[in-house]
Amino acid sequence: MTSLFNICQPREDVLKGSVTESDFAADLAMVLRDQAPPDYQDPRLFFANTHPTRGLKNLLWNVSMRLCEQTEGVASIFRLDTNYGGGKTHALIALAHLARGVHSVPNIAEFIDPQHLPKDEVRIAAFDGENADPANGRSMGGGIRAHTPWGELAYALGGYEGFEKLRQSDTAGQAPGAETIRELFGGAPTLILLDELSVYLRKVWAGRQREVGEQLTPFLTALFKAVESSPNAAVVYTLAIGKDGASDAYSPENDYIARKMSELESVSARKATLLNPTEDDETVQVLRRRLFASIDDEQGRNVVESYHRVWTQNRDKLPGAGFLDKKVEAFLYGYPFHPDLIETLKEKTSTLENFQRVRGMLRLLARTVCSLWRTKPSEALAVHVHHVDPSYEPIRQELVTRLSLQAFVPALNADVAAKEGAQPALAQEIDKKHYAGLPPYASYVARTIILHTFAFNENLKGAEPGEVKAAIVAPGLDIGFIEDAIRRFQQDSEFLDDKPHSPLRFLTEANLNQMVRRQEKHVDKGETRAQLNDRIREIFGGMTFHSILFPSMPSEVPDDAGDGHPYLAILSYDATEIRPDQVNLPELVRKLYKERGSSGEFRSNQNNLVFLIVDASKRDEMRQKMMRRLALDALRQPERLQSLAGHQQSQLQEWFQRSEQELAVSIQQAYRHVFYPSKNRVEGADIDLAYTVIDVQNAGANPGDGQRQVSRVLHDMKKLRLAEDQPDSASYMRDRTSLRSGRISTAKFRDEFRRNPTLPMLVGDDVFIRGIRQGVELGEYVYQSGELVWGKGGPPPQLRIDEQSFVFTTAYARENLIWPKPEPKPTPPPIQPTEQEPPTGETGTDGGGDTPDKGTAQPEVPVFPKHFETEGVLKEALTLLWEKARSANVQALESLRIRVYDASEGFKLFGPVNAVQKARKKVSIQGEYETTDGSSLVVEFNGLIADAAPVKEFLDPQLRAANEKNMTVEFSLTFEDGLGLDGGEPEAFSEKLCKFGAGAAYVLAQVKVKNADA
Check whether residue 711 and residue 724 sit in a common domain: no
Cα separation of 92 and 70, whole Å?
21
Domains held by the chain: number? 5
Q: CA 53, 59, 64: angle at the middle one, nearest 5?
A: 130
Cα separation of 733 and 753, whole Å?
10
pLDDT bracket for residue 37 (50, 70, 90): confident
Check whether residue 599 and residue 491 sit in a common domain: no
In a domain, 12, yes or no: no
Q: Which residue has the higher pLDDT, 388 or 874?
A: 388
pTM of the shown model: 0.55
Residue 790 pairs with which residues in a beta bridge?
783
Model pLDDT for residues 547-591, shown as the tens digit of each residue:
999 999 999 999 999 889 999 999 999 999 999 888 999 999 999
The per-residue b/e assignment along 366-389, b for 16 or more CB within 10 angstroms, e otherwise, is: bbbbbbbbeeeeeebbbbbbbbbb
Check whether residue 724 and residue 711 sit in a common domain: no
Q: Which of 214-218, 711-715, 811-815 has the lowest mean pLDDT?
A: 214-218
Largest Cα span, the chain: 190
Residues 534, 537, 543, 545, Cα dihedral to 10°: -170
In a domain, 27, yes or no: no
Closest CA to 653 of 519, 516, 506, 504: 516
Phi/psi of residue 768, each to 5°?
Answer: -65, -50
Amino acid at 518: R
pLDDT bracket for residue 358 (50, 70, 90): confident
Cα separation of 564 and 553, whole Å?
22
Q: Of 690, 717, 744, which residue sits at a domain end?
A: 717
The per-residue pLDDT for 834 is 47
First to last CA, the chain: 100
Residue pair 505/465 in contact by the 8 Å Cβ criterion: no
Closest CA to 753 of 950, 883, 869, 608: 608
Q: Which residue has the higher pLDDT, 994 or 734?
A: 734
The per-residue pLDDT for 80 is 86
Check whether residue 629 and residue 691 sit in a common domain: yes
Q: Of 717, 733, 749, which residue sits at a domain end?
A: 717
In a domain, 837, yes or no: no
The per-residue pLDDT for 635 is 92
Check whether residue 287 and residue 365 sit in a common domain: yes
3-state secondary structure 743-756: EEEHHHHHHHHHHC
In a domain, 371, yes or no: yes
Q: How many Å separate Cα 592 from the centre of its chain? A: 35
pLDDT bracket for residue 1014 (50, 70, 90): very low
Q: Of 275, 296, 319, which residue sits at a domain end?
A: 275
CATH number, domain at 231?
3.40.50
Tell me: pLDDT of 657 over 90.
Answer: yes
858: number of Cβ within 10 Å: 7
Cα separation of 486 and 444, whole Å?
10
Tell me: pLDDT of 844 over 50.
Answer: no
Closest CA to 384 of 372, 367, 394, 398: 372
The per-residue pLDDT for 795 is 92
Model pLDDT for residues 280-337, shown as the tens digit of each residue:
788 899 899 989 999 999 999 999 999 999 999 998 888 876 678 889 999 999 999 9
pLDDT bracket for residue 743 (50, 70, 90): very high
Cα separation of 921 and 928, whole Å?
23
Cα separation of 152 and 878, whole Å?
119
* Structural domain containing residue 249: 54-275
In a domain, 297, yes or no: yes
Residue pair 662/624 in contact by the 8 Å Cβ criterion: no
In a domain, 962, yes or no: yes
Question: How is 139-175 classified by DSSP, letter by letter?
Answer: EEETTEEE-SHHHHHHHHHHHHHHHHHHHHHHHHT-P
Which helix H or strand E contains 445, and what residues bound it?
helix 441-453
Cα separation of 352 and 343, whole Å?
14
Check whether residue 636 and residue 761 sit in a common domain: no
Torsion sign, CA atoms 736, 738, 742, 745 = negative
Check whether residue 415 and residue 463 sit in a common domain: yes
Check whether residue 545 and residue 488 sit in a common domain: no
Residues 362, 366, 368, 372, Cα dihedral to 10°: 150
Tell me: pLDDT of 672 over 70.
Answer: yes
Check whether residue 764 and residue 806 sit in a common domain: yes
Check whether residue 309 and residue 444 sit in a common domain: yes
In a domain, 106, yes or no: yes
Residue pair 17/291 in contact by the 8 Å Cβ criterion: no
Cα separation of 491 and 465, whole Å?
13
The per-residue pLDDT for 1000 is 62
pLDDT bracket for residue 703 (50, 70, 90): confident
Check whether residue 243 and residue 134 sit in a common domain: yes
pLDDT bracket for residue 850 (50, 70, 90): very low
Check whether residue 357 and residue 468 sit in a common domain: yes
In a domain, 930, yes or no: yes
The per-residue pLDDT for 84 is 54
Residue pair 674/543 in contact by the 8 Å Cβ criterion: no
